[in-house]
Amino acid sequence: MAKVDMANFLATRVKLFKNFPAGRLHQLVERADVRTFEPNEAILEFGEENRIFGALVEGQAIVAVTDDSGLQHRLAELNPGDFFGEMALMTGDKTCADVIAVTRCTAIIIGEEAFCSLVTTHPPVVRTLSKLISDRVRQQATQGGEGAFRQGDDPYGFKLHSDSPVRLLVLNCGSSSMKYNFYDTAHEIRSVHGVIENIGDDKTRLRQVSTLGEKVESLPRGDHADAFDAMITALTGRDGPLTSPDEVVAVGHRVTHGGERFHHALPIDEAVEAEIERLSLLAPLHNPVNLAGIRAARRLFPHARHVAVFDTSFHQTLPPYAYLYGLPYEYAEKGIRRYGFHGMSHAYVALKAAETLQRPYNELEIVSCHLGNGASVCAIDHGRSMDTSMGFTPAEGLIMGTRSGTLDPAILIYLMRTEGLGADDLDRLINRSSGLKGLSGFTNDMRSIEKAADEGHHRALLAFKTFCYQVRKHVGAAMAAMGGMDALIFTGGIGQGSAGVRSLACQGLARMGVVLDEEKNQAARGFDEVCLISTPESAVTVLVVPTDEERMIARETLRTLDRSFISSLIKKPDQPLVPIEVSAHHVHLSHEHVVALFGPGHVLAPRSELSQPGQYACRETVTLIGSKGRVDNVRVLGPPRKETQVEIAMTEQFKLGIHPPVRESGDLRNTPGVTLEGPAGRVTITHGVICAQRHIHMSPADALRFGLRDRYVVQVKVDGDRELIFGDVLVRVHPDYRLSLHLDTDEANAAGIVSGTRGTIAEIQNRA
Ligand code: AMP
């Protein structure tokens, strides 16, 4: 390739060199070479000192990393005009990923010296480079963090994605039934759904559905071990997707109770099994059978990686005021608190609602009603569960098929005293013989209740009305918890199947913005598709969404396996420490409010720089005035923003009498207002007060080093007198950001942390 062609290629095809001065370009190509790479040849290797910058002229390459078990994870694809090597050259770090030729590649190679003296000394290039890196990170994040290969047609991440094909089994073991789902990430068409019912009696039956059709088989009376054998026979049989159980690479297990320790799905080892066993006391109907299923599956699929996915994890974002019971605090410290269940279902249908509304998931206020044999309502505030009707166990909240739901706790004591009932009797009473069954006196099946009610059966009518009334009451409570509702979702067997329940549950909610279109409601085919059942005028979009907990478990299983790779990167010993900054209360003002508070023409006066470039604390302070009191000397931060935002800690919230939600900076919809007072006047904002979510700022280079992306959620460990773990820390990536963790004053005070303390990123908790 002639030098003139190289210069021409760089100037016209490589974005970085657009408008690059011709003289510099000429000098650059004089010092550049052209090299070719054969298919599968490493152009750059992970961990090497990198001394080159390259621009791909012909061929295709990938950027990838390989985990300990040899699985390759693709981060990006390179085509002609794309370049590589800039990250390590700019940061001085070792190469953080392999660049591998997929086809025969030709590249223009520029050495470190030429790159540093001619390229990085040209400010527009540095700007372009920073922007490109941040765009790349952002793009990956908006694609669900699944890597640059992911198509933009699945922004909510419903497809099961893996870099190399994975055959995956999802198991949901109940006391008398076992559900199994098989997925092949390379061929979703090969999915198989199976259920074995009535295990342990004479009516045991296996039903398996795939694209090849449905297969129903009666099985001899047997136990769970026999059910496992029957499942393997069905999966490896003539119509099955497998020839041997060894082809299964991963097994995702649904586990009901994850207690306080499990904030996310986890690879199963002995310690995880032991904790699930310990939690059996809290979910005696579920955890022991889940665990038996795990143990059996680990024996039958010894080569697969097993992952536990918990029903409770989704609700670990509940704030203390939502998860505390009114018992003495010591009991909360012993783990007696609200946990919430049906997490996979609530998360799935909420994502589906966001997809239907074509809105970002983390901008919405959603009330999800999972109404099946078990039933719960969940308030999902800007992507985070903030309250739910089930509690310490799945017995609390709504009336269910056979569960009583919420009772006056004194009723149980009364029954112990007057009827001599013991613990087991009460357990049976509230879990097995109450709810629809107890009230109707004959069935827990909503279809039979509705049929009987239609025929005038009084107790069936009562059961139906009580059920619907409770749903309506909990919907109201969930809306009140968030202060708004964009979407109301019905799911679960009853939620999807019963137009009557949906209709009655929504009646009288017009003032809350819920107006059902009865025709659409009656016509909804809730088991087949997402159905919109509200009128166009309804402020709240009401949807019927077929739930798919199994897909969600499969997705979490894949993400967990991928996470274990990120986790190994995070835990590398040479990772940088994260400086902690304690955010005191502060306000960001709009231009308009600067003028209103400090007078016409006023310009904010910088007082000191903040750690994040371009941000500064100002000389100006304001007073905040709430319904209850005032807080003086609240520092103004600059530069001015589009909208005024007030960030205050819990003690100040109390002083002011304001109750803001935990939010990301800038996410101000449906937040409370406050009055601000400055030397030139007062301003009352109707919204804008938030309690900032814990977050880490980092640059794209830091993000790559940790294997993280924008909007991932991590846990941070701080060593002090005692070790502290801060969970639910949102990662924000931007080229202007310097690595730091921002903590709220109250939180830092409670933990005895001062600015300047350092922490380590301990674990990845969740991906965007
Ligand atoms: P699940 O636990 O989600 O499988 O839901 C089971 C409950 O859904 C049972 O009470 C069923 O009676 C109820 N159900 C299923 N289909 C319908 C339907 N078409 N109408 C009313 N209830 C239904």
Question: Is-same-fold flag (3-151; 356-550)?
Answer: no
Cα 545 from Cα 351, distance rounded (Å): 10
Cα-to-centroid distance, 401 and ligand 1 (Å): 9
Distance 442 CA to ligand 1 centre (A): 16
Q: What is the per-residue pLDDT for 172?
A: 95
Strands 541-544 vs 384-388: parallel, antiparallel or unpaired: unpaired
Question: Cβ contacts of residue 637 below 8 Å, gap of 6+?
Answer: 586, 587, 588, 610, 615, 616, 617, 618
pLDDT surpasses 90 at 606: yes
What proportion of the chain, given as a percentage, has pLDDT over 90? 65
The chain-wide mean pLDDT, for the chain, equals 90
For residue 138, name the pLDDT band (cuts at 50, 70, 90): low
pLDDT at 148: 32
CB 490 within 8 A of CB 371: yes
**pLDDT given at position 337:** 97
Mean pLDDT calculated for residue range 596-613: 91
For helices 270-278 and 287-300, angle between their N-to-C axes, nearest 10 degrees: 160
pLDDT at 768: 65
Residue to mutate (ligand 1; options 368, 370, 440, 447; most atoms within 8 A of CB): 447
Of the two residues 472 and 190, the one the predictor is more confident about is 472
Task: Look up residue 16 and give its two tokens.
Answer: 């970085």
What is the tens place of the pLDDT at every residue in 663-685?
888 899 889 999 999 999 999 99
CATH class of 356-550: alpha beta
Tell me which residue of 398, 401, 396 sits closest to 437, measured CA to CA.
401
Q: Is 447 in the pocket of ligand 1 (CB under 6 A)?
A: yes
- Residues forming a β-bridge with 638: 616
Quote the tokens at residue 333.
């410290």
pLDDT value at 501 more than 60? yes
d(CA 17, CA 29): 12
52-86: b or e for each residue (b if 16 or more CB lie within 10 Å)?
bbbbbbebbbbbbbebeeebebbbbebebebbbbb
Q: Which atom of ligand 1 is nearest to the CA of 370?
A: 3
The predicted structure's pLDDT at residue 405: 98
Q: Are 743 and 581 in contact (CB under 8 A)?
A: yes
| CATH T-level assignment (fold) for domain 3-151 | Jelly Rolls (2.60.120)
Question: What average pLDDT does the segment 638-665 reach?
Answer: 91
151 pLDDT band, cuts 50/70/90, is very low
Q: Evaluate if residue 92 carries a pLDDT over 80.
A: no
Question: Does the N-terminal peptide bond of residue 320 adopt cis geometry, omega within 30 degrees of 0?
Answer: no
pLDDT digits (tens, 9 = 90+) for 381-396: 999 999 999 999 999 9
Q: Which CATH superfamily is domain 167-310 in?
A: ATPase, nucleotide binding domain (3.30.420.40)
> How many helices and strands (H and E) does the chain possess?
24, 37
Highest mean predicted confidence (pLDDT) among 14-18, 317-321, 325-329? 325-329
Residues 740, 688 contacting (CB under 8 angstroms): no
Distance of CA 448 from the midpoint of ligand 1 (Å): 10
Q: What are phi and psi of 698, to 5 degrees?
A: -155, 160
**pLDDT at 236 > cutoff 70:** yes
Task: Kindly report which listed range (269-278, 283-292, 308-317, 487-496) carries the lowest average pLDDT score.
Answer: 283-292
**Residue 149's pLDDT is what?**
31
Q: What are phi and psi of 671, to 5 degrees?
A: -110, 160
Q: How far is the CA of 503 from the centre of ligand 1 (A)?
A: 16
Q: How, if at all, do strands 365-371 and 375-381 pair?
A: antiparallel
More confident position, 143 or 371? 371
Per domain, the residue ranges of the chain are 3-151, 167-310, 356-550, 571-768
Confidence of residue 137 (pLDDT cuts 50, 70, 90): low
- Mutation test residue for ligand 1: of 398, 446, 545, the one with most atoms within 8 Å of CB: 446
DSSP symbols for 438-470:
HHHSS-S-HHHHHHHHHTT-HHHHHHHHHHHHH
Token match 């929504």: residue?
A: 506
Decide: 172 in ligand 1 pocket, CB within 6 A.
Answer: no
Sign of the CA dihedral with 14 first, then 20, 26, and 32 last: negative
Helix-, strand-, coil-residue percentages of the chain, each rounded to 5: 35, 25, 40
In tens, the pLDDT along 553-584 reads 999 999 898 887 788 888 888 888 999 988 87
DSSP string computed for 90-152: HH-PPP-SEEEESS-EEEEEEEHHHIIIIITTSHHHHHHHHHHHHHHHHHHHHTTTS-TTS-T
**What mean pLDDT do residues 629-634 have?**
94
Q: Identify the residue whose C-alpha is closest to ligand 1 atom 9.
A: 445
How much is the average pLDDT of 154-170?
Answer: 87
Structure tokens at 361: 């998931």
Q: How many CA atoms lie within 13 A of 122 on its CB side?
A: 20
Helix (H) or strand (E) holding 565: helix 549-570
| pTM more than 0.85 | no
Ligand 1 binding pocket includes 526 (Cβ within 6 Å): no
The pair of structure tokens assigned to 486 is: 């964009």
Cβ of residue 448 lying under 6 Å from some atom of ligand 1: no
C-alpha 348 – ligand 1 centre gap (Å): 19
Tell me, in angstroms, the distance from the centre of ligand 1 to residue 498's CA.
8
Query: Is 197 close to ligand 1, i.e. is its CB under 6 Å away?
Result: no
Would you give the DSSP letter of residue 657?
T
CA of 506 to the centre of ligand 1 (A): 18
Please compute the mean of the pLDDT values over residues 717-727 and round it to a whole number: 80
For residue 366, the tally of other CB atoms under 10 A from its CB is 29
For residue 551, give both structure tokens. 């897909």
Which residue, judged by its Cα, is nearest atom 18 of ligand 1?
Answer: 497
Q: Would you name the residues annotated as active-site residues?
A: 311
The string of pLDDT tens digits covering residues 356-365 is 999 989 889 9
φ, ψ of residue 515 to 5 degrees: the values are -125, 115
CB-ligand 1 contact for 525 (6 Å cutoff):
no
Predicted pLDDT of residue 499:
98
Q: Is the CB of 435 under 6 A from ligand 1?
A: no
Any atom of ligand 1 within 6 Å of the Cβ of 495: no
Please identify, by atom number, the ligand 1 atom nearest to the C-alpha of residue 444: 10
Structure tokens at 151: 């198509």
Q: Which two tokens stand for residue 469?
A: 């009334």
Pocket residue to mutate for ligand 1, from 176, 449, 494, most atoms within 8 A of Cβ: 494
